[in-house]
A and B are shown apart, each in its own frame.
Chain A
Amino acid sequence: MNRCVKIGNGQGFWGDSPDAPLRLVKAQPDLDYLTLDYLAEVSLSIMAVQREQDPRLGYARDFIGVTKALTSEWKNRRKLRVVTNAGGLNPRGCAEACVAALREAGCKGMKVGLVTGDDVLSFAKDPGPHAEHFRNWETGEPISTVADRLTTAHAYIGADSVAEALRAGADIVVTGRVADPSLTVAPCIVEFNWSLTDYHRLAQATIAGHLIECGTQVSGGILTDWLELDDPVDLGFPVVEVESSGSFIVTKPPSSGGKVSLLSVKEQFLYEMGSSDTYISPDCLVKLDDIEFIEEGPNRIRAQGARGESPTGFYKVSATYRDGFTASGMLTIVGRNAVEKARRAGEIVFERVRRAGFDLARTHIECLGYGDAVPGVLRRPDPEDVVEVVLRLSASDPRKEAVDRFAKEIAPMVTGGPPGTTGYATGRAKVRPVYGYWPCLVPRSLVSPVVEILEVT
């Protein structure tokens, strides 16, 4: 018998459906592992803002609610292990809050694994002889140009540390920045006792993780043929059934809505994938050209053919730096000449800000509904036919007071702007700090992940 391990994803990003993890676990009672992905490229900078306000924060607090919801499952002696990057900037704080929630629920004896060591901010600020690797790989600029404004710098570490925590008996593993697919690779390593140099199998598991890391995007979400989905209300979160060979099936709970099809899997396979024959993960290089997807039954797609090679000597780093302030506000303009009225209203707002003494560094006017979401590319309707548009005004500037002033100039359009101006119920535009994204590399030798086990007493 070819045993398989069933790994689900119940959270595709920070802000995904709060009920999804428990719903998935209940709909798929034989699930072995639940992965929860909370981190996108700039999530850590949002967490940095929260941590500045309260040093106990800096992680995805939603996960503590998920932990509480799952305790009823664990108390029924169900074997279910959770792997999550909810730790964000503060994995220790997250793991401790998780232990506290489990203790309160009476889950004595459960173990929470904690993976740290992904924070490389000190190296990024002062890279010394490694400065070349910390250059922005998009622009080539040296990191010294933003060193004094850096807020976070985290290496995407791999599955090895997560696997170590699972081997040490962790029921829940909390990490910071671990590469998204590695959350899925680690359980496979442990269940099948794969070697860390068994690159073909690791490559297969990496693709499995890549396919489920965005939750319902593989099971019908954002599908081109989305309008044809069955039961999108109960859109199923994805499950992979990985075999010891690394071959796997992508599926979803039988009772759930949505669709896992060749098209849904291929769309998600290519999602945020670079245009080359290789996908780079910290666990292996995945050679993509021989990957095949085969429909084995309704909502069951088999994936095979990924080949692996040894990983590079570097970890990818996502660093973020302070880059001024921004705000966006929207008004709806209804009636004849809606596009012209909206544009003029936008120009008036920016001219008022200028007369108040602020030449904003960057401004942007969009007439949404008139093709401005992909400006100059989408076909525009005849302006005569457009009797309502959403005017979206945006600005950014290094000076907070300049952006504050802009945010205050939008509302006056409700009484001083074009007729048919409406939709201001959301209130004044919120001024937010901007965090620039700085992708770079760090030599593996500089990063030492640490695994700890916290036991619920």
Chain B
Amino acid sequence: MSSTESMVRMKLGVLACARSGDKGSSSNIGVIARTPAAFEFLKEWLTPDRVLEYFKPLGPTGIQSHVFPKLGAMNYTLEGVLAGGGSRSLRIDAQGKALAQALLEIDVEVPAALVASLVS
């Protein structure tokens, strides 16, 4: 996309649903695009590096990801993000249940020409 193209800013939650939970001290976030066009856009835009950077304040040690084309979905595992996890963490969200909702708050810059196909 060219840098002169006009962009529209929206929350990821407009384009996708998500759910998160714990596995030991890691947490996985499943992200499901709301439309096929949104999936094609998000699988390029929502890179593992971008997700890792977004959650950096929580101190993850790494990230794994897997794309499910048949489901229009991506799955991210943030390693070591739960400060000890389920039983040891002192955080209110010791099990990472809130991480998916937090990710849906990320700002996405979408080319204006694509907006109609992404959100319908």
Using a CB–CB cutoff of 8 Å, the interface residues on chain A facing chain B are: 40-42, 45, 138, 222-225, 263, 266-277, 288-293, 305, 320, 323, 326, 328, 362-364, 366, 368, 372-379, 392, 394-396, 434-437, 439
Contacts and interface: CB of A to CB of B under 8 A. Distances in A.
Interface stretch (B2-10, B12-20, B112-120): B12-20
Interface of B: 13, 17-19, 21-26, 28, 30, 32, 34, 54-58, 64-66, 68, 70-73, 75-77, 80, 85-88, 90-93, 97-100, 102, 104-105
A250 B22 CA distance: 24
Given A41-B86, A222-B19, A225-B17, A378 B102 contact: yes
When A and B form their complex, which 4 residue pairs have the shortest distance between CB atoms, in order from nearest? A270-B30, A376-B57, A224-B17, A364-B90
B66 A373 contact: no
A165 to B, nearest CB: 29
A59 to B, nearest CB: 20
Which of A268, A273, A293, A375 has the most B CB atoms < 10 Å from its CB? A273
Given A274-B77, A275-B65, A439-B24, A375 B57 contact: yes
A398 to B, nearest CB: 12
Chain B interface, DSSP helix/strand/loop, else mixed: mixed
B24 A138 contact: yes
15 contacts: A41-B24, A225-B17, A270-B68, A272-B21, A273-B28, A276-B64, A320-B87, A323-B87, A328-B90, A364-B90, A374-B58, A377-B54, A378-B105, A396-B90, A437-B87
A224 B91 CA distance: 23
B70 A273 contact: no
Contact of B17 (A40, A41, A263): A263
Given A224-B13, A326-B90, A437-B24, A377 B102 contact: yes
Contacts of A293: 71
Nearest to B77: A275
A281 to B, nearest CB: 14
B21 A271 contact: yes
Which of A267, A305, A379 has the most B CB atoms < 10 Å from its CB? A267
A2 to B, nearest CB: 24
Given A274-B28, A293-B71, A224 B90 contact: no
A379 B102 CA distance: 9
Nearest to A268: B19
Nearest to A291: B70
Contacts of B57: 375-377
B92 to A, nearest CB: 5
B32 A267 contact: yes
B80 to A, nearest CB: 8
A138 B97 CA distance: 20
Contacts of B90: 326, 328, 362-364, 394-396
Contacts of A364: 90-91
B54 to A, nearest CB: 7
Contacts of B73: 266, 270
A272 B97 CA distance: 10
Contact of A274 (B19, B64, B71): B64
B111 to A, nearest CB: 24
